[in-house]
Amino acid sequence: MSFPSRDWFQRLAGFLEEDEDFRTHGRWLETRLALRVDQQTTVMNFSRGLILDVSEGLSSHDFMISGTRERWSVLLETGWGLVRLYRTGTLEIRGDPVRLMQNWKALFFITEGMKRFAAAA
């Protein structure tokens, strides 16, 4: 199991569902989030604190966070948060800007969970 395999994201889903920060800030999140690493895309379907599905490929999604493996490593291996990664252009985030801002806190805690999960794996 290594980032960015489907197995890694499936295990991340279980980790997030048990994570207090995600449960608190993702309890109203209804979205399909695409996470793209180089040319590999995984879509996670979030519904009110649960992850209903993790699938590979570029299927329908509301938001996409994308970057090269090297740029994703900045998230997973440093203290940089999502705001800094976005503002510096390290990771790109696409989606409706209003919905993006409405769901920013949940997306932030998804990426914080990714950091904690990667450190524990």
CATH number for the domain harbouring residue 29: 3.30.1050.10
d(CA 57, CA 35): 10
Residues of the chain predicted below pLDDT 70: none
Q: Is residue 77 part of a domain?
A: yes
What's the confidence (pLDDT) of residue 58? Answer: 85
DSSP-H helix ranges across 36-103: 69-77, 82-87, 97-102
pLDDT (0 to 100) of residue 61: 97
Output the pLDDT for position 59.
87
pLDDT at 39: 93
The total of other beta-carbon atoms located within 10 Å of residue 88's CB is: 11
Q: Which two tokens stand for residue 53?
A: 């599905």
In a domain, 1, yes or no: no
89-113 pLDDT, tens digit per residue, is 999 999 999 999 999 999 999 999 9
Q: Which domain holds residue 64?
A: 6-120
Give me the number of domains the chain comprises. Answer: 1
pLDDT of amino acid 79? 86
Residue 24 counted as domain residue:
yes
pLDDT of residue 65: 98
Tell me how long the chain is.
121
DSSP 51: E
Q: What angle do CA 24, 26, 31 make, to 5 degrees?
A: 175
Coil, strand or helix at 11: helix
Burial bucket for residue 47 (CB in 10 Å: 0-12, 13-18, 19+)? middle
